Amino acid sequence: MENNHAFLLTADGLRYDRLSGAGYDSPTTPQLDEIAMSGAACEQAVVTGTGTRKSFPGILTSSYPLMYGGYAQLTKHRTTLASAFRDAGYATIGVNANAQLHSRFGWDRGFDIYFDSENTVVNREIGTFSTDRDAGSEASAFRQQFEDLKSDIYEQLDQDGLLYRLLESGYRTVESREPPHPTADEVVDRTLSFLDKAPNDRPLFVWVHFMDTHSPYVPPESHREAVDAPDVADGQLWEINDQLHTDPDSLSNAEVAMISEMYDASLHHMDDEIGRLIDGFEERGLWNDSQVAFTSDHGEEFREHGGLTHCIEPYEEGARVPLLFRLGSEELTTVEGITSTIDLGPTLLDAAVADPEVPDQFHGQTLAPVLRGEESISEDRAVFIQNSNRSGREVNPDLRITGCRTTEWKFITSLDKQIRTKLFHLPNDPGEEKNLADDKPEQVEIFERIIADHYDQPAYTNYGIEGAVDTGDVGNRLEALGYIDH
């Protein structure tokens, strides 16, 4: 077996139940459905955390967010999927639209070429890439200054923090109401341009991350029509998106429903661009034998449990995501058992590399034999979803929330006394409306033992939680730029 090209496509904020292939009643994802039909879907896949920084350790390092020093930044103790592919002789390229995954936080590790949402980082000269030029230098001087500030904010604040909301609102005002991230068409254009500069003497590992299913939701009009979203003026949409970030409780149920429909239209836009990206792979002769994975870092909540956007607690709308695989022309089977995004790295390595060396720091399992119908997921498998902060970049172990998911059950427990213990029997209660924790103490005890054993691993016990990155007095810098008043 020769090493094959490996492509990892990820979306920010995409929940599983909005895929048309998952039974959703709107044609949101014809291109993703095609990937699933030519490969297979994992129908019960969950993330490692319901926010970008908590989830991408699972996707890109096959480890849980509270392992190896936590998720304040990517610590040196984790091994990235890109590093594993590069060690196997691959040229590695990352095109990322989310500043949470900026190179200054270490997410370019293992990538020869990395677009960090604002600039192109050349860590190793490959193909026609050169460190003498910066492929992202087209940004205006103001936007460059603003992006630097935004990245500092990301170091300290979650995307649902007040200061970030004010910053994002100011960004949209100054930038004539443009999205505060590269859009799907920009991401695809950049990826295809990178492929044209890539070497042709070795296999490629390419990761592409889209932000369109993350707020603000102001999709192109043609994609609103495609999913029968309402005809709303852009100005009104921006106002509602501003409220979503600055005063979400003030939104009416009708406005939340409108946001949800614009989310669908944004998903349709992203899906369409994924189709264009696949066309670009095919035109360059890279697609047929490639190993492909698609997933999301978390879902979004639209008041199913009272909140909006990212979930603090790991309810299904925030925790359950698509996990799709296409392994060349192999015939694959649907995976019905419980899986996690920590399985993605081992699976892609196993499928693409002739003699893979899976890093010791990878904690997921390869799903390749399961996808091929040779094995099945253990019925008693448990996977975990973690959070350990309310806002800010610093990780606080005293606020730790742990979700434990099996095929049948969801258990939520927390060291934060404001969070009640919860137990849901998902086959009978898919909406997680009836808490059975008081009714089934024996089941609660089982999950408490599982979680205690999980946290007793050396990947937790041998590493202290690292604090936030010190970025100085961000408030004064914001005030100097005119975004907030003290």
| Higher per-residue confidence, 440 vs 396 | 440
Please state the pTM of the whole predicted model: 0.88
Residue 340 belongs to a domain: yes
178, 139 Cβ separation under 8 angstroms: no
Q: Which residues pair with 8 in a beta bridge?
A: 207, 293
Instruction: Look at the chain and report how many structural domains it folds into.
Output: 1
Percent of the chain predicted with pLDDT > 70: 85
Q: Locate all alpha helices (DSSP H) within 39-97, ordered by sequence.
A: 52-61, 81-87
Report whether pLDDT(46) > 90: yes
pLDDT at residue 308 in the model: 84
Residue 60: give its domain's CATH number. Answer: 3.40.720.10
Instruction: Work out the average pLDDT over 146-156.
Output: 49
Identify whether the C-beta of residue 72 lies closer than 8 Å to the C-beta of residue 469.
yes
Cis before 203 (ω within 30): no
Give mean pLDDT, residues 274-298.
97
Q: How many CB atoms lie within 10 A of CB 230?
A: 12
Q: How many CB atoms lie within 10 A of CB 173?
A: 12
Please answer whether residues 315 and 8 qualify as being in contact, where contact means their C-beta atoms are separated by less than 8 angstroms. no
Q: In which domain, by residue range, is 19 found?
A: 6-138+175-381
Distance, CA of 343 to CA of 228 (rounded, Å): 36
Q: Which long-range contacts (CB under 8 A, 24 or more apart) does 230-237 make?
A: 230/258, 230/261, 232/258, 232/262, 234/177, 235/177, 237/262
CB 405 within 8 A of CB 319: yes
Residue 167 resides in a domain: no
Helix axes 184-197, 253-283, angle to 10 degrees: 20
Rounded distance between C-alpha atoms, residue 335 and residue 376, angstroms = 8
Residue 453 counted as domain residue: no
Residue 481, pLDDT score: 25
pLDDT at 449: 97
The pLDDT of residue 161 is above 70: no
Pairwise CA distance, residues 103 & 151, whole Å: 10
435 Cβ neighbours under 8 A, 6+ residues apart: 420, 422, 423, 424
**pLDDT at site 432:** 96
Q: Is the pLDDT of residue 126 over 80?
A: yes
Domain contains 451: no
pLDDT(486) > 90: no
Q: How many CA within 13 A on the CB side of residue 233?
A: 3
pLDDT digit string (tens) for 92-114? 999 999 988 988 889 999 999 99
Q: Would 419 be classed as within a structural domain?
A: no
Rounded Cα–Cα distance for residues 338 and 340 (Å): 7
pLDDT above 50 (res 480): no
Determine, yes or no, domain membership for 239: yes
Q: What is the mean pLDDT of residues 406-428?
A: 95
**Average pLDDT of span 287-306:** 93
Residue 61 in any domain: the answer is yes
Is 388 contained in some domain? no
